Amino acid sequence: MKIAIISDIHGNFDALSAFSESYDELWVLGDLVNYGPQPAEVIEYVRARATIAIKGNHDQAVGYGDDPHCVPPFREIAAETQKITEELLNQDQKAYLRSLPRSLRLTRQQTSFFLCHATPSNPLYGYCEANSPGWTKASNEVRADVLLAGHTHVQFIQRIGDRVVANPGSLGQSMSGGADGRYAIWENGIVTLHRMAYPVEHTVQKLQSLSLSRPVLAKLTKLLEGGALS
């Protein structure tokens, strides 16, 4: 059995359309929307193809008109793009975002999984870096063979005894270095990390057609091209 695991698409339909990996099941770890120019297309793709999708902090924010609780460098970007995202989605699509679960426990081929967007103890807003010992505590708490989370946009695998913690990285706004989309594959008991190229310049062009302020457009472009915000 082959499971493709993606996260943090953030309205980037160019990246999602370029995702050509074969799979038996597609799992999405949240943040379908915000930041990117095509949130509606991303939602419809996930609704049609994903076996499992869970809720991220931006899905919660757009679905309910809430604050996504972003760290300071991202607050202006999130607030400005959230207004546009809410205008681009219909009520049915917002209802879909609201319906997504915050976490899930699953079993496949006698392997137990725990899925969340951020951390098990704070599924929407928790922040735990790749090398943090907090993942050991989280793994011990959920007691699943594989703990899967997104949110940080940084791809990693951490092995804790006979358990695995993995973040597939961001498909639509990677912070693992470079513009490539990132994802993970679970196949027959093994988690592997992958990357893929997509036409990031097309996404930038679509952002330019939105009513974004110049500072926010510049920051989003920098992020898509693999840069970091201070």
Instruction: Please report, for the chain, how many H helices and E strands are present, in that order.
Output: 8, 10
pTM above 0.85, yes or no: yes
- Give the Cα separation of 88 and 203 in Å (integer): 16
End-to-end CA separation in angstroms for the chain: 41
pLDDT of residue 216: 97
Closest C-alpha to 222, from 156, 183, 173: 173
**pLDDT per residue as tens digits for the range 49-77:** 999 999 999 999 999 999 999 999 999 99
Does residue 41 have a pLDDT over 90? yes
CA distance 56 to 168: 14
How are the residues of the chain apportioned to helix, strand and coil, as percentages rounded to the nearest 5? 35, 25, 45
- The domain limits of the chain are 2-224
DSSP for residue 119: B
- Architecture of the domain delimited by 2-224: 4-Layer Sandwich (3.60)
What is the four-CA torsion angle of 28, 29, 32, 36, rounded to 10 degrees? Answer: -110
